[in-house]
Amino acid sequence: MSSVESLSDRVIETDVLVVGSEGAGSTAVLEAITQGVSVTVVTKGSNIGRSGATVTGDADLDVDSRSLHERFGLKGTDTRDNQAVFFDDMLKGGKYLNNQKLVEIHVEAAPDRLQDLVDWGVKIDGLLHASGHSYPRGVVIPGTKLMPVLRRTVLSTDVNLVPYTMITELLTNRGRVVGAVGINGATGEFMVFKAKAVILCTGGAMRMYPYTTAPEELTGDGSAMAFRAGAELVDMEFPMFLPGVFPWPPAVKGVDIPFLLSTGGFVAGWMLNKNGDRFMRHWDPINLEWTTRDICSVAMMTEILADRGGPHGGVYVSLKHLPDDVIDHLEDWMPPEFYMHYGGFNMREYLPDLKRESIESVPASHFFNGGIRINEQCATSLPGLFAAGEVTGGVHGANRLSGNAFTEMVVWGHRSGRFAAEYAKQSPDVSIDGEQLREMRGKTFAPLERKNGVSQAQIRKKMQQVAWEKAGVLRDGDGLEQALAEFVRIREEELPQVSVRSKDRVFNREWARTLELENMLLIMEMVCRTSIKRTESRGALYRRDYPDTDNINWLKNQIVSNRNGEISVRSEPIVVTRAEPPRKVLKYGKTE
């Protein structure tokens, strides 16, 4: 018996391993399969469409309006739009930190990838004109309708689907990725995957914060394991917040109905503080609530921290200024998945009489603009490792425009599948380092073997509160330094002492959450270190001690790398192909 077999409960060999099964992962699988390689896809859920962020997306997919008119014949399009205008809007939205090589590919490939979805059977529900876009571009495709189509299409191929499995580490040998290890929750098995190429499609890290729109699987696993393996990350100071969600009651905490009724562009709801002040007039007197989401989130949090919010910690969203019949007929013209029947809930049960009363709203962690650094082929700085979707950085810069998450997942999922398959075809057989595998197995099972120790739930709750107060929507140098010190202390002192109460390996959620906790702490440390170094406010990063956007000194991307296990941060000039940003200091929220 080989050392690999003796150290593992099951070994799976494949040409391409896709970690994450949803929007980006499914499209990666479908393209890789067409290249004639063997493909294995791993998901934390029970099946494709049963975990991750895509299925929870409300959601729109951005394609330039002219292409939508000429190619798809959608109503409501505007032919004055084109891919060049879309490109410019993305740079303005990202405050010019976007990698312009990636943005060019993004806008050019979007129509073809939408065509793929339509060919597979996805139905388009409408078209939106969201904030930050010059023209209508948001093709309405709710995640609840998208993922069943992708699941059916993927499972019609000969892909090997491995459910209930959390990948915990990447295997490397001689400077390249050669596979991964993980635990199967349904069996308790320690699994080894030998692969010539690995694609990470694991999404963001939004569960670091107590208020979030994200499902529980979004804990930064991909970015953390890529860092530990030696891959570079970029733009980690820009976790994005949505304005906003219900802070109360607990049953619907994180549901974004308040956003849809105010800042989302669907209904002209007003945001008010407890004094009745429509406070967005101080931040964007022209667009008010329909400004970009980064500005709205900062404005909301400013009111909340100044104790001008409601009893549950949120600002107020009011429709009382609208005629009664407009309020009566909201769901007649809004897609039902966007409003009253969110996720199977009847939201009427949680809403007051909107003709008479307001609802509370609080910003929530919604997306990660930064992540694993990729090139135009979705290759990372580590040979054999590819990435696509929200786990990556570079496409969005400092802030993402509405609808671009779905575009990103299909454009870059497709490209990652193609180029990872090409890499795998040219790669020799891989071998696994037995000593590395032994260390990974020991680390994975350590929480089960400790008889007594610290509770992961207590650490997680403490970490989330520190993140929210000192490294969230509003930040400053002192708070960031305090947060960083606390995260480092937890990582060094408490994390090694975490013990799992149940020693059963089968469906042990506490065990899996303990493994996720290390990833979350690592990502939060990156957020703090990069935020401290960036002495300005830009996009999704607002520093109260540096409130201006400094285009003289900070038109740079911050690159995070692993230096002997420690986080190293360096700056590099932005990647410019055709749009040179204005080189001057600007008021926060302005681009020129």
Predicted confidence (pLDDT) per residue in 86-104, tens digit = 999 999 999 999 999 999 9
Percent of the chain with pLDDT over 90: 85
43 in a structural domain:
no
Per-residue pLDDT at 591: 74
408 in a structural domain:
no
> In this model, does residue 317 exceed pLDDT 80?
yes
Confidence of residue 195 (pLDDT cuts 50, 70, 90): very high
Are the C-beta atoms of residues 366 and 213 closer than 8 Å to each other? yes
Helix%, strand%, coil% for the chain, nearest 5: 40, 20, 40
521 in a structural domain:
no
Domain with residue 335: its CATH number is 3.90.700.10
Cis peptide before 59 (omega within 30 of 0): yes
- Cα separation, 10 vs 81, in Å, equals 53
- Cα separation, 408 vs 529, in Å, equals 27
- Cα separation, 93 vs 294, in Å, equals 9
Per-residue pLDDT at 338: 58
Per-residue pLDDT at 339: 59
- DSSP assignments along 28-50, one per residue: HHHHHHHTT--EEEE-SSSSTTS
> In this model, does residue 509 exceed pLDDT 70?
yes
Per-residue pLDDT at 350: 79
Per-residue pLDDT at 521: 97
- Cα separation, 587 vs 233, in Å, equals 28
Q: β-strand 542-543 against 474-475: which pairing, if any?
A: parallel
Cis peptide before 244 (omega within 30 of 0): yes
Predicted confidence (pLDDT) per residue in 423-466, tens digit = 999 998 889 999 999 999 999 999 999 988 899 999 999 999 99
Query: DSSP assignment, residue 281?
Result: G
Per-residue pLDDT at 584: 94
Contacts (Cβ under 8 Å, ≥6 apart) of 400: 93, 94, 240, 367, 369
Per-residue pLDDT at 429: 85
Per-residue pLDDT at 523: 98
With CA atoms as reference, report the closest residue to 342 among 273, 259, 285, 418.
Answer: 259
> In this model, does residue 340 exceed pLDDT 70?
no
Confidence of residue 344 (pLDDT cuts 50, 70, 90): low
pLDDT (average), residues 156-180: 97
289 in a structural domain:
yes
261 in a structural domain:
yes
Per-residue pLDDT at 335: 61
Per-residue pLDDT at 245: 94
Predicted confidence (pLDDT) per residue in 549-567, tens digit = 999 999 999 999 999 999 9
With CA atoms as reference, report the closest residue to 168 among 192, 150, 188, 187.
Answer: 192
385 in a structural domain:
no
Q: Which amino acid is at 150?
A: L
Per-residue pLDDT at 78: 96
pLDDT (average), residues 281-297: 92
> In this model, does residue 336 exceed pLDDT 90?
no
Give the tokens for residue 463: 């970490």
Helix H segments across 433-544? 434-449, 456-470, 477-489, 509-533
DSSP bridge partners of 571:
558
**Domain span holding position 318:** 242-365
301 in a structural domain:
yes
- Cα separation, 368 vs 577, in Å, equals 24
57 in a structural domain:
no
With CA atoms as reference, report the closest residue to 369 among 205, 560, 226, 240.
Answer: 240
Give the tokens for residue 331: 């769901």
Domain count, the chain: 1
Q: Which burial class, exposed, middle or buried, applies to 110 when counting CB atoms under 10 A from its CB (0-12, 13-18, 19+)?
A: buried
> In this model, does residue 342 exceed pLDDT 60?
no
